[in-house]
Copies of this chain bind each other. A is one copy, B any other.
Amino acid sequence: MDSNTVVENIYLLVVVTLVSVLQNAFFAQKVERESHTHTPCTDRVSCANRNCMDAYPTFLAVMWCAGLCLSQAPAAFAGIIYLLVRQKYFVGYLGQTSQSTPGYLFGKRIIFFLFMMCVVGIFNHLLWRYYGSDYKEYVQTITSAASTLLLIP
């Protein structure tokens, strides 16, 4: 029963993690296939993959912290949006060679949102600990509402 409580609090995060793993596998397949052909595209694919992989642990860490500290639904929602942005970034990177490639960074806004969720969660926890006032429910409602703002392109 206790184990079910644990799963209850994280299952949305697990789902997003699984989707991100699928996406990683898709990227890796691309790199794998290109590494056999040795077209000029290879560098772009492996570079896009490396940029995505560089940011991956950071993303996972922030998403899980946000989900554990505050509330899992908005964190998982932001995670899904991040994965969409990453997909667009990867595909955009493979675009026409003449075209300039996107920069090193992507999804800054979403990482920032998740970061703020963590900060608010910790701040709220300290408030509860030292003053006994718990605004968690209000904060969770506001966060859920604010997460829809991420949909604005």
Interface residues of A (CB under 8 A from B): 2-11, 14-15, 17-18, 20-21, 24-25, 28-29, 31-32, 35, 49-50, 53-58, 60-62, 65, 68-69, 103-105, 111, 115, 118-119, 121-122, 125-126, 128-129, 134, 136
Contact = CB atoms under 8 A, between A and B. Distances in A.
A81 B74 CA distance: 32
Contacts of A35: 103-104
Copies in the complex: 3
Contact of A21 (B49, B61, B121): B61
Query: For chain A, what secondary structure do more than half of its interface residues adopt (helix, strand, loop), or is it mixed?
Result: helix
Contacts of A126: 11
Contacts of A105: 28-29, 32
B18 A118 contact: yes
A18 B121 CA distance: 12
Given A18-B118, A21-B58, A115-B18, A68 B10 contact: yes
Nearest to A28: B105
